[in-house]
Amino acid sequence: MKRIPEPELMDDPEQARAYALADFSEPHQAFIDHFARCFPRHRPRRVLDLGCGPADVTIRFARAYPDCEITGVDGAEAMLAFAREAVAATGVAGRVRLCHAYLPATLTGVETVDTVISNSLLHHLVDPAVLWQTLTQLSAARTAVFVMDLMRPPSEQTARELVQQYSGKEPEILRRDFYHSLCAAYRPDEIEAQLRATDLARRLQIEVVSDRHLIVWGELAC
Ligand SMILES: C[S@@+](CC[C@H](N)C(=O)[O-])C[C@H]1O[C@@H](n2cnc3c(N)ncnc32)[C@H](O)[C@@H]1O
C-alpha cells in the first residue's frame, strides 16, 4: 500500500492526552529489551531521545540505565507538558532534561552524547532524512544509535486488523492515530534506501522485530 503521511507534530491537546494516558508498556518495554540485546556491553552515560513525546520510553530508559543522563527532545509543547508531569512523578527527574525543539534543529548541550534513541518519530517525518541527518551531525566515536518504529503493512485491511488486535479496547482517538501511523510508517526497503542516501548504510542495520515494528541500530563512527 502507498504511504499516507500524517501530521508531524502531535500538538493537539486531546491527541497528546490520549497518547500520554495509553498503555504502551509492551512495545516500550520491548524497546528497552531490544536495546539491551543489541548493545550488551554499552554503558549509556549521555543519551538523547529524539521525539520523546510524553517521555514514557525516556523514563524507562533512565530506569534501565541508572548511570545515564537523558535529554528528551520534542517539537510538540502539548506532549512535553505530559512529559514534564511524568518525569516529575518519578525518581529520575534529576537525570532527565526535556527540550522543546522542532527537528531539524541545532541542539545545544548534546554535543557529547554516546547514545541516541528514538521511538516512533520516523513515521511522523515528512522528510525522513531529517532523522538520519540529525544522527550524522551528532556522530561521535562509537555513538550507539537505536531507532524503533512502526512498519507499514501491505494493505489498509491489514492495518485495520492490527489496530483491532492491539488497540481494540483503546479510545477511538487512539485507534484512529494508530491506524494513521501504520499508514504513514516506512517499510524496511524504504528505510534501507534512506540510509543508502547517507553514510549510515554501512553503520546501521534494519531488523524486523514484530508484526508491526522494526528497529534500526548500530554504532556511529567519527
Ligand atoms: C508517536 S510520538 C512518539 C513519542 C515517544 N517517542 C514514544 O515512543 O512514546 C512522535 C513524537 O514525535 C514528535 N515529532 C514529530 N515530528 C517532529 C519533529 N520534526 N521535531 C520534533 N519532534 C517531532 C511528535 O510531536 C510526537 O510527540
Q: What is the pLDDT of residues 41-68, one digit of tens each?
A: 999 999 999 999 999 999 999 999 999 9
Give distance in angstroms: CA of 53 to centre of ligand 1.
5
Confidence of residue 216 (pLDDT cuts 50, 70, 90): very high
Atom 16 of ligand 1, residue of closest alpha carbon? 8
Question: Ligand 1, closest atom to CA 27?
Answer: 8
> What's residue 26's pLDDT?
95
- Ligand 1 atom closest to residue 49's alpha carbon, by position in its atom list: 6
* Average pLDDT value for residue range 163-176: 94
CATH of the domain at 138: 3.40.50.150
Average pLDDT on 177-185 reads 97
Question: 7 lies in a domain?
Answer: no
pLDDT (0 to 100) of residue 209: 98
Residue 20 lies in a domain: yes
Burial of 115 by CB count in 10 Å (0-12 exposed, 13-18 middle, 19+ buried)? Answer: buried
Read off the pLDDT of each residue in 77-101 and give the average, rounded to a whole number.
97
Phi, psi of 28 (to 5 degrees): -75, -35
For residue 181, is it within any domain? yes
The number of distinct structural domains making up the chain is 1
> Of the residues 19, 74, 178, which should be mutated to test ligand 1's pocket, given the most ligand atoms within 8 Å of the CB?
74
Distance 45 CA to ligand 1 centre (A): 23
Which residues form the domain of 28?
A: 13-220
Q: Is the pLDDT of residue 222 over 70?
A: no
